[in-house]
Structure 1
Amino acid sequence: MEQEKQQYARILIAVDGSESAKKAFEKSILIAKRNNSELIIVHVIDSNSYNMGIESATFNAIEVDATEMNDLLESYNKKAREAGIKSIKTKLTKGSPKQLLSLEIPNEFKADLIILGSTGLNMVERWMIGSVSEYIIREARCDVLIVRNTQKEDEFKR
């Protein structure tokens, strides 16, 4: 296979503040450096998770999360720049992570690779609502890389 066919020009990394997402972000930097890629760092605030509360309380919770995630995106942007990534974009939005991360946002940025941390959901949550990463694997129109949280795997093996 020719070398250029194996390269990724625009890598989308989804972050949520979890340890899994942090490991995925670290791997995305390595891949972006190797491919001289643009890195798109994205967080989707899951607006469905706020639908249970009172409207004003819901709005405040979303605003607090947005502020925290904006800070996280800025921190990741700085780390990527310090690691030598030249082209970085960030996006903070709200909606369905499954829908937005599988099709809409990758299409918007013309991503050719999506990188995600492995799911942090427990078995009951995964059974009821399904894993975001599982959905993205099925629906995305580009390559998807799931980065395992090796710390969790090591704890499971004990």
Structure 2
Amino acid sequence: MPLSMAYYTVAAKRVQSHRPDVLRSILIAVDVVPEALRALDWATSQLFKPGDNCHIAHVIKSHSPQTEVFHGIPGTAYKFPDPAPLNERQEITMAKQFLKDRVTTPLDAQGIPNHIHLFVEEHSAPASAIGELLIKVADEVKADVVVLGTNDKTTAERWMMGSVADYCSNNMKHPLVLVR
């Protein structure tokens, strides 16, 4: 067994013994990237047991801020209407279809109760904003464990683009399992 999988198994056993008399609440953050779907697959095969509740969090980066042009003279700014609502509706529809096809249908087939938490953020939202949303959901559902997929970014990529997994690993108060 690879070392990384051993780590995840040990973490899962610790979480399972946390409150054996109470149903567990498990939060899984999913995205359309393969790493997030691997985290879902890992959680369903290694972590779940009968009676657990699964909460799925998905953040769509669609909403764009209103465009404003300044002419240099105070009071002469012009605001353009936001072109995003049409795209936003389409992206929300696509996200709902993705969640149905790749998340809720397989979970329902396995008999795993699931609850979807869908959010829309601005395209320019930093990783910290998405991380804060996940922390808020984890607090609201009283998550016993949070499962996140993570990818293999270089240090420079993490510094330049940010990383939700990095943010959550530094700020999450709930037990956190990162799956590669």
The reply to whether residue 98 of structure 1 matches residue 125 of structure 2 is: no
Contact 1:98–1:135 under 8 Å retained in 2? yes
Stretches of 4+ aligned residues off by more than 6 angstroms: none
Runs (5+) with no aligned partner, structure 2: 1-13, 68-79, 122-128
CA shift digits 1:97-139 (9 cap, x unpaired): 12101x2111111111111111365655421242110001111
CA distance in 1, matches of 2:86, 2:132: 24
In structure 2, distance between residues paired with 1:63 and 1:120: 31
**Distance verdict in 2 for CA 1:26–1:65, change over 3 Å:** same
User: Hey, what does 1:111 align to over in structure 2?
Assistant: 143
Across the two proteins, how many residue pairs are aligned to each other?
A: 145
Alignment of 1:1-158 (within 5 A): 4-5=17-18, 9-34=24-49, 36-46=51-61, 50-51=64-65, 55-75=81-101, 76-85=103-112, 87-95=113-121, 96-101=129-134, 103-119=135-151, 124-148=156-180
Q: 1:123 to 1:63 in 2, by over 3 A?
A: farther
Q: Does the 8 Å CA contact 2:62/2:91 hold for their aligned counterparts? A: no
Question: SS state of the match for residue 49, structure 2?
Answer: helix
Other-structure match for 2:11: none
| Mapped contact 2:56–2:116 kept (Cα < 8 A) | yes
Bigger Cα displacement from structure 2, 62-71 vs 122-131: 122-131
- Encode CA deviations 1:60-114: one digit per residue, 9 max, x unaligned: 23222211111122221110111221x211111123312101x211111111111
1:129 and 1:62 map into 2 onto residues whose CA distance is 22
CA contact (8 A) 2:66 2:82 kept: no
TM-score by length of 2: 0.68
Q: Kindly report the root-mean-square deviation, in angstroms, between the aligned alpha carbons of the 2 structures.
A: 2.8
Q: Distance in 2 between matches of 1:104 and 1:33?
A: 22
Whole-Å separation in 2 of the counterparts to 1:125 and 1:58: 27
Cα distance in 2 for partners of 1:121, 1:63 equals 31
- Percent identical pairs in the alignment equals 26
Structure-2 separation of matches of 1:142 and 1:68: 30
Q: Which has the larger radius of gyration?
A: 2
Q: Which runs of 5+ in 1 are unaligned?
A: 149-158
1:32: Cα distance to partner?
4.6
Question: Normalising by the residue count of structure 1, what TM-score does the alignment of the two structures yield?
Answer: 0.77
Q: Give the superposition deviation at 1:26.
A: 0.5
Structure number having the greater helix percentage: 1
* 2:82 counterpart SS class: helix
